[in-house]
Amino acid sequence: MSTNLSEDEKLLMNRAKSFAKSVHEEDLYGQLSHIFDDIYGDEPKLHAAAWLHSAVESNQVTLEQVWLTFGDELTQMVDALSTTRSDCF
């Protein structure tokens, strides 16, 4: 991934990764950073949504919790990535 990301973009990605890891007791995310870099490149919002969607799919957190923590745009992205779609976002 490029080092041209702003501090806010880096913070968003790190917050999403930390949030996702905190709701999973097992370590599912060891290899995902490298995979996300290859797939999403320099798109920090896509990285963040990718980190968060599995937490929603596994029912560890709700879209409302994602919305309260990360706001509308990212919640809509997470909802679009998730197999359990909501009509709320």
Distance CA 40, CA 81 (A): 13
Question: What confidence tier does 13 reach under pLDDT thresholds 50, 70, 90?
Answer: confident
Question: What confidence tier does 19 reach under pLDDT thresholds 50, 70, 90?
Answer: confident
pLDDT tens digit sequence for 30-89: 555 556 666 666 688 887 888 888 788 877 789 999 999 999 999 999 998 887 656 555
What does 7-48 look like in DSSP terms, one character per residue? HHHHHHHHHHHHHHHHH-SS---TTHHHHHHHHHTT-HHHHH
Q: What is the pLDDT of residue 59?
A: 72
Cβ–Cβ < 8 Å for 44, 1: no
Enter the pTM of the model: 0.70
How far lies 67's CA from each of 12, 31, 62, 75, 78, in Å? Answer: 14, 26, 9, 5, 10
